[in-house]
């Protein structure tokens, strides 16, 4: 396993309650929330950044977005942000792809 905090959360060697999980991804609360709701939607597959994703992984990236939409509906968010930070200069701190779902 890569030495990756999100891989460890997915494996639950670092416990963080999973708000959602399916065969492709999990979602859990961001430890430093930027709004009332701030979830991270994280693929089970370790891909460092969106810039590293290949064509085969395109459906997986789409799945993260539709999962974000589903979770936003479940949480009754009327409007929200879905955000990927890409690369250090793009504000990315954890190098395992994750989609931020931010709203209130």
Catalytic residues: 98
d(CA 29, CA 57): 24
* Least distance in angstroms from the C-beta of 31 to ligand AMP: 4
86 binds ligand AMP (CB under 6 A): no
91 binds ligand AMP (CB under 6 A): yes
Give the helix ranges, DSSP H, for the chain: 5-11, 58-74
Site mask, ligand AMP, residues 40-79, x = CB under 6 A?
A: x---------------------------------------
6 binds Zn ion (CB under 5 A): yes
What kind and span of H or E run contains 11?
helix 5-11
Contacts of Zn ion in 71-100 (CB under 5 A): 96
* Least distance in angstroms from the C-beta of 22 to ligand AMP: 19
Long-range contact pairs involving 68-71 (C-beta distance under 8 Å, separation at least 24): 68/41, 68/99, 68/101, 71/19, 71/20, 71/27, 71/39, 71/41, 71/101
Which residues of this chain interact with ligand AMP, rule CB under 6 A?
Answer: 5, 16, 30-32, 40, 85, 91-94
């Amino acid at each position: 396993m890569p030495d990756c905090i999100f891989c460890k959360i997915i494996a639950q060697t670092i416990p963080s309650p999973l708000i959602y999980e399916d065969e492709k991804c999990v979602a859990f609360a961001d430890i430093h929330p930027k709004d009332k709701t701030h979830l991270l939607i994280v693929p089970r597959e370790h891909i460092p950044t969106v810039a590293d994703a290949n064509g085969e992984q395109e459906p997986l990236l789409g799945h993260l977005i539709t999962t974000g939409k589903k979770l936003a509906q479940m949480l009754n968010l009327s409007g929200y942000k879905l955000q990927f930070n890409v690369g250090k200069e793009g504000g990315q701190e954890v190098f395992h792809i994750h989609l931020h779902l931010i709203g209130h």
